[in-house]
Structure formats: structure tokens, C-alpha cells
Chain A
Amino acid sequence: MADEVILLDFWPSMFGMRVRIALAEKGVKYEYKEEDLKNKSPLLLQMNPIHKKIPVLVHNGKPVCESSIIVQYIDEVWKDKAPLLPSDPYKRAQARFWVDFIDKKLFDSGRKTWNTTGEAQENAKKEFIEIIKTLEEQLGDKPYFGGETFGYVDISLIPVYCWLHAYEIYAKFSVEADCPKFTAWAKRCMQKESVSKSLPDQKKVLGFVAELRKRFGLE
């Protein structure tokens, strides 16, 4: 019986990108459904009634919600190819810790670089760089966070790369200047087809952020 896999998503969502990358890594065929978040589909509301958010993976009619939970699910179901989490329990705990750290800190901080002004924006910029530097320390000299192979932490973090251009334009800074190791890692990830095909163009994201800023009365 063939698997039916549907992804409810929204093109600029960094959380959605994680799932796209994971599915691509595993070579899973799926149907991509673009949601209009101002007009959520009945399917989305039925599949994620609690949070009403994307991404949602619908596998043979059953929904899985929350991007980090979806990525772990994908890794466990399609386990014969491209393992995303390490097999050692301690390394798995470390990978989960850093994804949790990214989830708790990175996105709020990134958002503040473009939706605040003045001192708040300055602080957001400093905080964002600090978070990236903490992650750089974890990476060390390894090619990927997991070591030799691209994995769970890399997948969870790389989507921010297509949003950096927008952050940099509005908060006036350069991630590459402050965090060269992070930038080198990001470019290495972008070499992978599973990543480059899952991330939208950074100019398109910039246009999206400009629209959001208009809506927030920041333009």
C-alpha cells in the first residue's frame, strides 16, 4: 500500500522548511498544500484543532503537528535511509537540547530585529548575534552539528538562513561579518539539494517581511 503524505505549509515558514528538508532527505514523495494563514483551510483546522498552525504532516490521514515532533516522526518512520538523529542516547539528548534551544530563543529574537525600532531593535540585534555565537561554539570545527553528517540540529537551524537577509537589512548588521563559522556552515548546508530546494529565495522573504512591516505600521 502506497503511503499518502500531505504537508500543510506556508512558504516563508521556517518551521515548514524543516519538514520539507526532512522529507527530501528521506526521499519521501508528498503533496505540498499551501495554506493562506488569513483564511485557514477546513483541513488545517481539522488536522490541528488545538493550535491551528502549520506545518502539519498528514500521513495516511493521521496528523502530526509541531515541526520538531514531525521531523522526529519522519526519522522514525522512514528509518532505512539518511538517519537524522544520532544513534547514541547521549548524542541524541544533545541534539534535542540544541533544537529546543533554537526553538526557545532564535525565532523570537530574529523577529524582533525587524518588528521593533530604536533601542529594542539594537538589543534584538545583539541578542540574535549572541544566540548565533552560542550555536557556533557548539558547532566547533565539525562540518555539521551532528558531526560528519547533516542531521536534526542542522535541519532545525538552516531555515533561518533565508531570513537573515531581511534581518540584516532592517537591523543593519551582517551575520557573516560577526559569525563567519556559522555562515560557512550555512553555505555548506545550502550545497545539499534537500536544503536548497526547500528554502525560498532570500529576496522573496525580504519582500514578505516588508509586507508584514507595512501591516504592523512599521513602514
Chain B
Amino acid sequence: MHELCSHRHSTENITLIKKAMAKSDVKLLGAWPSPYVMRARIALNVKSVDYELLEETLGSKSDLLLKSNPVHKKIPVLIHNDKPICESLIIVHYIDEFWSSGPSILPSDPYDRAIARFWAAYLDEKWYPSLKGIASAQGEEAKKAAVDQVGESLALIEDTYVKLSKGKPFFGGEKIGYLDIAFGCFLGWLRVTEKTSGVKFLNEAKTPHLAKWAVRFCADPAVKDVMPETEKLAEFAKLLAKFRAGPPK
């Protein structure tokens, strides 16, 4: 004890201990392909919070996951000082509220917050399911209907971006915010769907504002290291399809 208290080394030791503790204080149960996990990672990055990513493997759920999220048994789960927080948008709110001294993620005005929350809920309840619906559509007619639906809702999101950004680079204004994170996390899977369906959804011709926004979003320091490459994600999609189809009959 006496040695540790020597002035020359004590502050360095404390800093090292704090850093080591800080990283293990914050764990994220997740998987690199998951857009929902990406939301949590981007939010943590915005706040410059060090965390440990514990990757779950496809097809099995770790004991820690089952213990931390017994109700839904899903990722992401943020474990902060051994306390679990579940559901990606709830995790993003928590990160914003706990690390309140970092850059804000939710807008400050209550009405703007309500609007951001509304659109995030729309993305989760309507938009992303319709995107996934393209891959599962049976037959040409169903596929066309699914494609049209995604196109229409993207036009809506393009309009929303114009209204909410008011000429600024992001939904959140000068810097990325809640709705940028809520929507941007789906860009990887959107690109994979464009590849597999042969239909372009987000581009200069159809969604000029979102096309530019997407480039800015993916280049953001909080995003670029956690956004998966489309090629890698497409490979994973093939693996996932095989896994879901089960063993050959």
C-alpha cells in the first residue's frame, strides 16, 4: 500500500485503473451485422465511452444474454455496472441521459424529441419490416408490391429529412442525432437489399437529399468503424438464409 501511495506513480496508476475499470464497466452484448446493435455502438462513440463488445454467435445465445434479457433474449443489451438495459432505442436514450455531459443525441426541445421518437418508431414498426419483406416476398407480384412500399416510405423519409434538417447536414442538425442513428443503422442492409433485389432505393435520382446524407453519416467518426461493408454483410445474409432454411432435406 505504502509503495502505491508514492506521489510520482500514484496518479498514473489511478488513471490506468480507472481506464481499465471504465472499459469493463460498460459491456455491449451484440453482433456486428445487427443494425440495432450498431445504434448502441454509435451512441457510445458519440459520447466517447469505452466499452467491451461481447459478440454473440449466430444460432446460440450466451448465458449472459439469457440472464441479462430474460424477457426477449435479444441483442443488443448494454450492461453498465452490471445492470442490463435492453431495446436499442431505450439504450440510446439511456446513453444520452447517463453521459449527459457529452454531445447530445436527443434534441433538446420536447416537440422535436417527440417528432424524432415518432419517426424512429415508424422505422422500426413499418419501414424496416417492409424492407425485410422484399426478401421474403413470394412471386413477382408480391415482390413488386414490397418494392413499391419501400420506395414510397423512403420518399416519406426523404421529405422528413428535408423538413427536420432545415438545410443542415443531419436529421439532428449540425451533428448526428437520434434519428440519424435510428435510420442510418439500416444503411448496410438497405445496400444488401439493393444488391439482391436489383432495385436501387437510395440514390441521387430517387432520394437526392438522403443520398448525400448517407455519405456524410457513414463518414462520421462515430459511425465509420461500426458500419459493416456491404460485401461482408451480403455474405452474412447468405449465411443467415442458409441457417434459417435449416439442414438440406
Contacts and interface: CB of A to CB of B under 8 A. Distances in A.
A126 interface: no
Interface in A135-175: none
A65 B118 contact: yes
Contacts of A62: 111
Contacts of B71: 101, 134
A65 B85 CA distance: 25
Contact of A64 (B86, B87, B111, B122): B111
Interface in A87-118: 89-90, 92-93, 96-97, 100-101
A77 interface: yes
Contacts of A92: 93-94, 97
Given A92-B97, A96-B93, A101-B71, A50 B114 contact: no
B90 A96 contact: yes
Contact of A93 (B90, B114, B122, B156): B90
A81 to B, nearest CB: 15
A72 interface: yes
A65 B87 CA distance: 21
B175 interface: no
B93 A64 contact: no
Given A64-B111, A97-B86, A97-B87, A90 B118 contact: no
A122 interface: no
A90 B91 CA distance: 10
B117 interface: yes
A100 B117 CA distance: 13
Contacts of B83: 90
What is the predominant secondary structure among interface residues of chain A facing chain B? helix
Contacts of A101: 71
Contact of B93 (A65, A69, A93): A93
Nearest to A99: B90
Given A90-B94, A92-B93, A73 B87 contact: no
A219 to B, nearest CB: 32
Given A97-B87, A100-B90, A101-B71, A89 B110 contact: no
Contact of B114 (A73, A89, A97): A73
A33 B203 CA distance: 42
Contact of B110 (A50, A73, A93, A97): A73
Interface string A54-82: 00000100101110011011001100000
B87 A69 contact: no
Nearest to A92: B97
A66 B98 CA distance: 25
A89 B98 contact: yes
A134 B85 CA distance: 17
Contacts of B200: none
Contacts of B110: 73, 76-77
Interface in A8-63: 50, 59, 62
A69 B110 CA distance: 10
A89 B92 CA distance: 11
B113 interface: yes
A66 B121 contact: yes
Nearest to A98: B71
Contact of A89 (B86, B97, B117): B97
Contacts of A97: 85-87, 90
B90 A66 contact: no
A136 B156 CA distance: 41
B113 A76 contact: yes
B94 A73 contact: no
The 7 lowest CB-CB distance pairs between A and B, nearest first, are A76-B110, A89-B97, A93-B94, A89-B98, A73-B114, A93-B85, A96-B90
29 contacts: A59-B111, A64-B114, A66-B117, A66-B118, A69-B121, A70-B114, A72-B117, A73-B110, A73-B113, A76-B110, A89-B94, A89-B98, A90-B85, A90-B94, A90-B98, A92-B93, A92-B94, A92-B97, A93-B85, A93-B90, A93-B91, A93-B93, A96-B90, A96-B93, A97-B85, A97-B87, A97-B90, A101-B71, A134-B71
